[in-house]
Structure 1
Amino acid sequence: DAGLIQRKDSANGKRYARKDETGGIEEAFGFSLAPLLARAEELAHAAQQVAAERKRFRITKEALSICRRDVRKMISAAVEEGVAGDWGHIEEMFLGLTGRIPRTPTVADLQQILEEMEMLREEIINSLEMQENSETMDSNAVQNERHIQNSNTESSNELEPSSGKELGEKLHRTGRPKSEAIKAFPLGMVLKACPEINDYGPDGAVESWRDLMSAAVVVRSMLGVSPSAYQDACEVMGQANAAVAVACILERAGHINNAGGYLRDLTRKAARGEFSLGPMLMALMRANQDTGRKVG
């Protein structure tokens, strides 16, 4: 059926070869492997592809197993140690992802779940780091307050910055670098969650973080976000994360009445250690997947 073996029947249905006077085969009846030989290179290439796909499947499956284990351990440890956070919701997200793994998954199935599981892991790490930084900030704030009261050289008003810029500077002074307030997620995941930002990159594409930040400046103006609001976001979240936040706002522009006010609210939450990009990106990824299924 595959055309790799050819059969040539004789008059009596037997297999034999008719030879010429020199003993060479003049005509042969039975099975011929000539088609198989002719396609040997093609079949070798196909075999290599199958081997490569199996290797990719194994690597992806192993990566997903490790990521699942990491997430499971971090959730259990956070709950046991009483770390602040909505761990019940995170547990539900984890169980939802593991429940989506088919009995006989393809490499595409595993890759998609792996990406979301990695995002969940980053979200948990962000939450734990923000909790640790918040405790450090509280401790530093107490020390600063005591120092201020003892030296009486500064006004107590400085303990509560009046703007996002001052708040970013305050965070920087207390030992939490502004650029490290929130870890950035992989660019590929950001673009999968926020594909519309691609249209505003150089030459209509975003291929690097520099492209994303350039596109965010264009989108910021288009959405009516003031330069000061965006600058505050950059100083508190870091430039890359501020650009990601703008990309998320663009993706949900139809549901947001005041993009500038929304960004300022995210900036204030980030400054207090109450905001991470993970849930927003994951929600957008799921929404895009659902839209793709409906279109398909």
Structure 2
Amino acid sequence: MQIISTTPFGQRPVSADLIENQMLATRESDVAHFDKWELFRELCVARLSYGLSDRDMAVLNALLSFHQGRNLSDNDNLVVFPSNKALSERAHGMAESTLRRHLAALTGAGVILRHDSPNGKRYAAKDASGEVIRAFGFNLRPLLVRASEITDRARETRAAAETYRRLRDECSVMLRDAIKLAEYGASERPKHDWESIQATAQEYAKALRRKLPFELLSDLRKKLRLLCDTVGQLLGMDAQIKTKEMSGSDADNERHYQNSNKDSYDFEPSLEKEKGAGVDDGIETLEEYRELGAEQIDQSPKMPLPLVLKTCGEIQNYAKDGVNNWYDFVATAHFVRSMMGISSDAWGKAQIAMGVENAAIVLACMLEKITEIHSPGGYLRALTQKAEDGAFSPGPMVMALLNGGDKNVA
């Protein structure tokens, strides 16, 4: 097919972009064929990098529908010549003035080219066999020539969108942590200025409701991390002694780990001895758990289960069907305690002294540091004694883990 038109009809001037796009249309394509609708979808993804709107893409969709065949091929006639009326109908009744504006945008972006006839009409001249020998209209060849470029840009756009999504998710999680931990801190550590922290978190929440540019979202992430670190430090100030207890140092735990006296509480009794101890082996059924929980309602945990699971995730590896509620959590802890070498005697006393859920929280914290605790049973008995004296709460232990190592709020 012969193409003889290179300049626009009427008062539209020749520009450097027009000449560059004309040269692009004559360039050899990297691919001989490409599915036009797949290419259209890729361009939809990358359209902003070409300065195109969704309405521009609607017009391009209509233009592609006038091309016969599924593929754009280098050896085919890639010029379509619909009238404004026909094009408007396929563009869902778009007004002709609006249609012209979007066609100009597509041309300016270099994804189509105009081939105007002497009178500006769009038509094709055919030979006796019906083959098109000359056509005036819109040339779709730039799409085929730029197919590799379009797919590359679409891939980059998807990658950027995924990076943005992950960044926004991270900000959302940190904001949630800051708000909920501040609520916990306000009830557990009222001496600190939690009101200002909560007000700052609310300001960040308002900002996160908007579609922030990537740079501003990155800046918000830094601010949220600083806020979370501040909250963690405030919550960890009263937990320093618990951090020492969980450190696993021989010097700090000499009484537990170095005592060779087998009668010490640091070493668990044999199974034969504990059979006659007469101490309840913790909960066995949901009914027992509910009954015990009702009796010890004042000892129920003051922290949300998601926070505990975020900090002590190791215990979830032992859950049969996942940890979805406190009952699942306690039941899993009951299963794990025997694997840790903790006797039913120590476990039952811990549940009575601390409360069922709180004892499970303590065990989950111990599981995180199990390689550093030489005698889990003795360690639990020591904490149980403190709980009986009213000098122990599992909250600081959780916060100490949350503030250390890989368990930082992020």
- TM-score, length of structure 2 as denominator length: 0.37
| Structure of higher CA gyration radius | 2
Greater share of helix residues, 1 or 2?
1
TM-score, length-scaled by structure 1: 0.49
